[in-house]
């Protein structure tokens, strides 16, 4: 994912699921360069930052409820933010795989008719930064692969006050969506708030430690989750947190020491892999060699679906008969051993293909060039995203 950096640019990207069998978010393929902040705005940002730093010591945590966009599977959650003065309210996916904030603006009109639209004329603190760009996405809200530029946003870069739970960011930079492809239209949430590993300025300016926790509760357990900013909610998980060090920069990524399928492994799975962790992506994405090795160890009946290149499936009536436990081993931080994160057999199916209801899509899509972990795994753990210490932590959730 292309990394977008600006000291107070908050991350968000919007995606939706017209053709999806289940929800899934954004892996950005392209974004033109971020504009430099005008000198006057830089001065205001510095002044606001100094004022907030003098007023605020590191606060206690603040939390925002997350709601399950069920859509047949438990693979997407979203919550509330507000922008402007007085505040205008939006629902967003809090996405660790995104690096910029996008919400619909009134200029989007009919193309964004199903989403709330920010009206700049109603905000006394709005600033237009006079910069336009586009984003093309590599995944959508659902588990269907992207084809060409069928998930694209046209954007205008602006600034205004951002509120997330009890966190306030003055003069936060974000994008207004001015047009979008029709694939976005049915989405029940308005946008995406990215929380990448370089978001420390957001927390510092808001007066909170640069760490957050995420909980995703399955529909069968109530369908509600939680984003905790500034720390973790220890009531939401069982046992100790196990941490693994962040790999590189730009994405939340950990080093995998090996993958096991139903307790067995293969030479192609016993490699050091860098796995991107993306709370905005529904299923799993692996290179073809890894995906087909895993599938071959589950069942020879799992085959590629030529109607939707990059997807695989199996007859739906076979799903209940297949053990499909996937364990991924991760390096521990200093003082902690390596540990496993487990995807249970219940995640094997992402639901029937729309045009082949007798065939169920399986949880791994092929995407050459990167390997990515989404909600198929994350919903089974309380996850901690520690920006200050550049590490991630996990414990079984308490549900």
Catalytic positions = 95, 278
Contact partners, residue 36, CB within 8 Å, separation at least 6: none
Phi/psi for 354 (5° steps) reads -60, -40
Q: In this structure, which long-range contacts are made by residues 114-119, counting pairs with CB atoms below 8 Å and at least 24 apart in sequence?
A: 114/185, 114/186, 114/187, 114/188, 115/14, 115/187, 115/189, 115/190, 115/191, 116/88, 116/89, 116/90, 116/91, 116/190, 118/83, 118/84, 118/88, 118/90, 118/176, 119/88
Query: What is the spatial distance between Cα 299 and Cα 142, in angstroms, rounded to a whole number?
Result: 24
Q: Say what the alpha-carbon torsion angle 173, 175, 176, 180 is, to the nearest 10 degrees.
A: -170
CA–CA dist 353, 380 (Å, integer) = 24
Residue indicated by tokens 């109607």 = 307
Residue pair 99/11 in contact by the 8 Å Cβ criterion: yes
346 secondary structure, DSSP code: G
**Neighbour count for residue 20 (Cβ, 10 Å):** 28
Residue 179 near residue 61 (C-beta atoms within 8 A): no
Measured distance CA(208)–CA(202) in Å, rounded: 9
Name the token pair of 111. Answer: 């193309």
The three-class DSSP label of residue 297 is helix
The continuous run of DSSP H or E covering 201 comes out as helix 200-206
Task: Tell me what percent of the chain is helix, strand and coil, each rounded to the nearest 5.
Answer: 20, 40, 45
User: Could you tell me if 397 and 384 are in contact, meaning their C-beta atoms sit under 8 angstroms apart?
Assistant: no
């Amino acid at each position: 994912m292309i990394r977008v950096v600006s000291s107070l640019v908050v991350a968000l990207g919007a995606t939706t699921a017209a053709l999806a069998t289940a929800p899934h978010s954004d892996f950005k393929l392209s974004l033109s360069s971020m504009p430099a902040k005008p000198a006057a705005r830089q001065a205001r940002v510095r002044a606001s930052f100094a004022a907030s730093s003098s007023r605020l010591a590191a606060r206690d945590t603040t939390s925002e409820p997350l709601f399950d966009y069920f859509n047949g599977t438990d693979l997407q959650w979203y919550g509330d933010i507000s922008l402007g003065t007085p505040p205008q309210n939006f629902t967003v996916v809090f996405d660790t795989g995104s690096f910029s904030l996008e919400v619909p603006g009134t200029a989007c009109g009919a193309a964004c008719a199903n989403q709330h639209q920010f009206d700049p004329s109603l905000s006394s603190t709005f600033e237009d930064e006079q910069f336009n760009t586009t984003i093309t996405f590599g995944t959508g809200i659902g588990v269907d692969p992207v084809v060409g530029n069928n998930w694209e946003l046209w954007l205008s870069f602006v600034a205004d006050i951002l509120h997330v739970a009890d966190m306030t960011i003055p003069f936060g930079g974000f994008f207004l969506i001015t047009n979008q492809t029709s694939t976005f239209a049915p989405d029940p949430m308005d946008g995406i708030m990215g929380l990448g590993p370089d978001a420390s300025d957001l927390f510092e300016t808001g007066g909170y430690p640069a760490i957050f926790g995420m909980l995703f509760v399955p529909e069968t357990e109530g369908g509600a989750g939680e984003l905790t900013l500034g720390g973790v909610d220890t009531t939401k998980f069982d046992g100790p947190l196990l941490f693994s060090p962040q790999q590189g920069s730009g994405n939340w990524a950990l080093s995998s020491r090996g993958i096991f399928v139903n307790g067995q492994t293969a030479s192609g799975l016993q490699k050091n892999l860098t796995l991107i962790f993306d709370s905005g992506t529904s299923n799993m994405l692996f290179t073809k060699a890894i995906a087909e090795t895993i599938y071959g160890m589950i069942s020879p009946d799992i085959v590629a679906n030529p109607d939707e290149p990059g997807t695989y499936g199996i007859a739906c009536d076979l799903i209940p008969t297949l053990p499909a436990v996937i364990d991924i081993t991760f390096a521990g931080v200093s003082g902690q051993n390596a540990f496993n994160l487990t995807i249970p057999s219940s995640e094997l199916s992402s639901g029937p293909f729309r045009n082949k209801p007798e065939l169920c899509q399986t949880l791994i899509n092929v995407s050459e060039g990167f390997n990515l972990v989404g909600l198929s795994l994350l919903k089974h753990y309380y996850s901690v995203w520690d920006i200050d210490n550049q590490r991630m932590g996990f414990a079984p959730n308490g549900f």
